[in-house]
Amino acid sequence: MTDFGLTEEYQDLSDTVRDFADEVVAPVSARHDEEHSFPYEIVKQMAEMGLFGLPFPEEYGGMGGDYFALALALEQLGRVDQSVAITLEAGVSLGAMPVYRFGTEAQKRRWLPPLAAGEALAGFGLTEPEAGSDAGGTLTKAQVADGQWVINGQKQFITNSGTDITRFVTVTAVTGTRERADGSVKKEISAIIVPNGTPGFTVEKPYNKVGWNASDTHPLSLVDVHVPEENLLGARGRGYANFLSILDEGRIAIAALATGAAQGCVDEALKYAKDRHAFGHAIGHYQGVSFKIARMQTRAHTARLAYYDAAARMLAGKPFKAQAAMAKMVAGEAAMDNARDATQIFGGYGFINEFPVARHYRDSKILEVGEGTTEVQLMLIARNLGL
């Protein structure tokens, strides 16, 4: 990546994923959306392409790429199917990345290869019924007994937690308390790997969602769940802080996905504006439509620049928290605004689920909520300004 342009290697990756999205993913998107079915055949093909291993070293079964390569793939997938894109995004940035960033060498050797190969998926169990944006309000508890963690609690909105190939979910839990310098007590929150199928760990019925219908999302319950003490991921008491850093990276990925969704709406609206005729002209002839599409393209372009910048800072080892927050907010709003405008351009057809713009209209709202609401992004940006 140089001066916001793409090197030949990055461009080739982007083009390859774009062709895959158009030729393989798009034709089955409507069916999986209608059936609320997980696209196992698409995931298998993405695995064969190496997409799940993009940012991981070859020694752990990865492709030896970087996070920006993942973002480019997510943008191209997000153009045609947000459910497929979020399956990849969550599988890599939320499922596998915590193990890569904070795991012991033994944990990396055990868990990463099947995740990087796309043979398995993992989930990220942070959100709870009473702890969403305020993730520090975690109520799930874990304590050590006879060399094992005993975990009790609930998680919700957990992506990739209940597929046939889900291997584990990393959950945050309160493992004790610590006294602050002022005498107040602070929760000690740690992260623990919980393999699927562990007794007491129940993947509940999937949600009936407004959008992302082909994405796997469940609430989870943990009742006296026993896992080995060595399943602690990262240092004890660092679970919350570590996951916050994972979310900073993840916001770049979500921004890329959202940019793709915004661009997908432009592409569909542009094609329709040229083909649809009214009052003797293609509707794109009229400024009421052409100006709307021009604004849509501007939003997509701005979102792309924002996530490119955040990714460049991250790869250069520079602070990027605020830039990731801005990229996520700008791209999420661009996706939602473009979906609304594209639906308006399509008229009645935009209200029919088989049309991509209708799916983007339902899917895009969560981009302003998931992995940090717009309000959380504004809070992070304001803090960076010293407010």
Residue 1 pLDDT: 46
Domain 123-237 has CATH 2.40.110.10: yes
Residue 4 pLDDT: 64
Residue 2 pLDDT: 43
Q: In this structure, what token pair is assigned to residue 133?
A: 């944006």
| β-bridge partners, 201 | 222
The 3-state DSSP class for residue 155 equals strand
Contact 356, 264 (CB under 8 A): yes
Q: Could you list the pLDDT tens digit for every one of the 387 residues in the chain?
A: 445 679 999 999 999 999 999 999 999 999 999 999 999 999 999 999 999 999 999 999 999 999 999 999 999 999 999 999 999 999 999 999 999 999 999 999 999 999 999 999 999 999 999 887 776 789 999 999 999 999 999 999 999 999 999 999 999 999 998 877 777 778 899 999 999 999 999 999 999 999 999 999 999 999 999 999 999 999 999 998 999 899 999 999 999 999 999 999 999 999 999 999 999 999 999 999 999 999 999 999 999 999 999 999 999 999 999 999 999 999 999 999 999 999 999 999 999 998 999 999 999 999 999 889 999 999 999 999 999
Residue intervals of the chain classified under CATH 2.40.110.10 are 123-237
Residue intervals of the chain classified under CATH 1.20.140.10 are 241-384
8-121 CATH fold: Butyryl-Coa Dehydrogenase, subunit A; domain 1 (1.10.540)
- Whole-number Å distance between alpha carbons of 26 and 238: 41
Q: In this structure, what token pair is assigned to residue 195?
A: 């393999």
Residue intervals of the chain classified under CATH 1.10.540.10 are 8-121
Instruction: Give CATH for domain 241-384.
Output: 1.20.140.10
Number of CB atoms found within 10 A of residue 237's CB: 16
Q: In this structure, what token pair is assigned to residue 2?
A: 């140089």
Instruction: Kindly list the catalytic residues.
Output: 371
Residue 160 pLDDT: 98
DSSP secondary structure of 220-284: EEEEEEEEEGGGEESSTT-HHHHHHHHHHHHHHHHHHHHHHHHHHHHHHHHHHHHH-EETTEEGG
